[in-house]
């Protein structure tokens, strides 16, 4: 592995490339990543970089997003099979139908969506800024897609905004049940329960803290507590164990794994960067239209 890391780092320097890695990636990817974080953070880094090449250790919609907001950069996705089950739950035609059934209502799309879907939306959001984005629209009603759980969590938090959701979800988070939380609390009574809002709203209500990947990590960093039940993808728990060896982290249950996020390997990153293959390309009309909703999000999130 050391040899792979050295080759990748050398190529990055030679080609003026950066590697962006999501926190759900295999943890060894961090050894070559320039930035590791959640979707909002990585989108901001993609927009701000002066690199010529962006290698995205993540899934397809993330690499698309980087290309949308940095069109002059060469964006590479080391494994083109790295998709997102949630993003696949809505296509362009379904998006049009959803809007048609609710005319004249602002549309917020979760970043876990394709460029074609984003092109039909008013503004994008991530789990770390969804509340702020919806509140900033200052409207009594919004359409929210594709994650119904995140949308309904936002509705419960804001109270005075009706959030009409599309019936999509992240299967990893959606499978967490109330009994899982109850069992964990009984077994670890001193632990704080940290929950991602992609879980069902009735699950989020049981948390000591509810927030995005970066929010959960920041909560741990600031907390004086020593035990934490992590209710999100296992990559977050693995990084917390590495970075805070004096604290104990309990993954809520087995199966908290995004298989697509685990597809990318160091070998694939090296091959993709070395040969500059698996480049993300977009129809320019779709890119421009989808850029509008992402740029609007980034402006609100400053």
Number of domains making up the chain = 3
The range of the structural domain enclosing residue 140 comes to: 87-170
Same domain (yes/no): 35, 51? yes
pLDDT score of 158: 95
Same domain (yes/no): 218, 269? no
Tens digits of per-residue pLDDT, 46-94? 999 999 999 999 999 999 999 999 999 999 999 999 999 999 999 999 9
Residue 156 preceded by cis peptide, ω within 30: no
Same domain (yes/no): 24, 75? yes
Query: CATH no. for residue 21?
Result: 3.40.50.10800
Residue 55 lies in a domain: yes
Tens digits of per-residue pLDDT, 88-137? 999 999 999 999 999 999 999 999 999 999 999 999 999 999 999 999 99
Residue 150 lies in a domain: yes
3-state secondary structure of 75: strand
Give yes or no for a contact between 273 and 53, defined as CB atoms under 8 angstroms apart: yes
- The tokens describing 4, both together, are 């792979």
Same domain (yes/no): 194, 150? no
Listing DSSP states for 122-158 in one string gives: SEEE-TTTHHHHHHHH--SEEEEESBHHHHHHHHHHH
Tens digits of per-residue pLDDT, 145-171? 999 999 999 999 998 999 999 999 999
pLDDT score of 60: 96
What are the phi and psi torsion angles at 239 (to 5°)? -70, -35
Residue 297 lies in a domain: no
- The tokens describing 53, both together, are 């090449």
Tens digits of per-residue pLDDT, 215-246? 999 999 999 999 999 999 999 999 999 999 99
User: What is the separation of C-alpha 272 from the centre of its chain, rounded to a whole number of angstroms?
Assistant: 22
- The tokens describing 265, both together, are 């390997």
Has residue 11 got a pLDDT over 80?
Answer: yes
User: How many CA atoms does the CB half-sphere of 280 hold within 13 Å?
Assistant: 33
Same domain (yes/no): 106, 128? yes
Same domain (yes/no): 46, 96? no
Ramachandran class of 138: left when φ > 0, alpha when ψ lies in -120 to 50, beta otherwise? left
Question: How far are the Cα atoms of 36, 57, 188, 238 from residue 248, in angstroms, in the given order?
Answer: 22, 27, 10, 11
pLDDT bin (cut points 50, 70, 90) of residue 40 is confident
Give yes or no for a contact between 151 and 133, defined as CB atoms under 8 angstroms apart: no
Same domain (yes/no): 155, 196? no
Mean pLDDT of the chain: 96
pLDDT score of 39: 85
> Does the predicted model carry a pTM greater than 0.85?
yes
**Residue that terminates a domain, selected from 170, 203, 232:** 170
């Amino acid at each position: 592995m050391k040899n792979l890391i050295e080759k990748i780092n050398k190529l990055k320097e030679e080609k003026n490339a950066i590697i962006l890695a999501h926190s759900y990636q295999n943890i060894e990817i961090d050894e070559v990543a320039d930035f590791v974080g959640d979707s909002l953070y990585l989108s901001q880094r993609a927009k701000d970089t002066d690199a010529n090449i962006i290698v995205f250790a993540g899934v397809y919609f993330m690499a698309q997003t980087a290309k949308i907001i940095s069109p002059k950069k060469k964006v590479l996705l080391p494994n083109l099979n790295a998709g997102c089950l949630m993003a696949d739950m809505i296509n362009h035609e379904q998006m049009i139908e959803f809007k048609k059934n609710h005319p004249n209502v602002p549309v917020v799309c979760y970043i876990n969506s394709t460029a074609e879907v984003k092109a039909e939306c008013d503004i994008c959001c991530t789990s770390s800024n969804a509340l702020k984005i919806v509140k900033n629209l200052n409207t009594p009603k919004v359409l929210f897609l594709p994650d119904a759980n995140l949308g309904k969590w936002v509705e419960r938090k804001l109270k005075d905004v009706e959030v009409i959701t599309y019936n999509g979800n992240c299967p990893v988070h959606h499978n967490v049940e109330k009994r899982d939380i109850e069992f964990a609390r009984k077994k670890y009574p001193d632990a704080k329960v940290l929950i991602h809002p992609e879980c069902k709203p009735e699950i989020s209500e049981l948390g000591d803290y509810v927030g995005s990947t970066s929010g959960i990590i920041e909560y741990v960093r600031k907390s004086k507590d020593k035990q934490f039940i992590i209710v999100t993808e296992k990559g977050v728990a693995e990084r917390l164990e590495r970075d805070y060896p004096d604290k104990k982290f309990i993954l809520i249950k087995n199966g908290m794994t995004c298989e697509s996020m685990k597809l990318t390997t160091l070998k694939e990153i090296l091959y993709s960067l070395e040969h500059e293959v698996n480049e993300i390309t977009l129809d320019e009309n779709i890119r421009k239209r989808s850029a509008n909703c992402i740029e609007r999000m980034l402006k609100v999130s400053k």
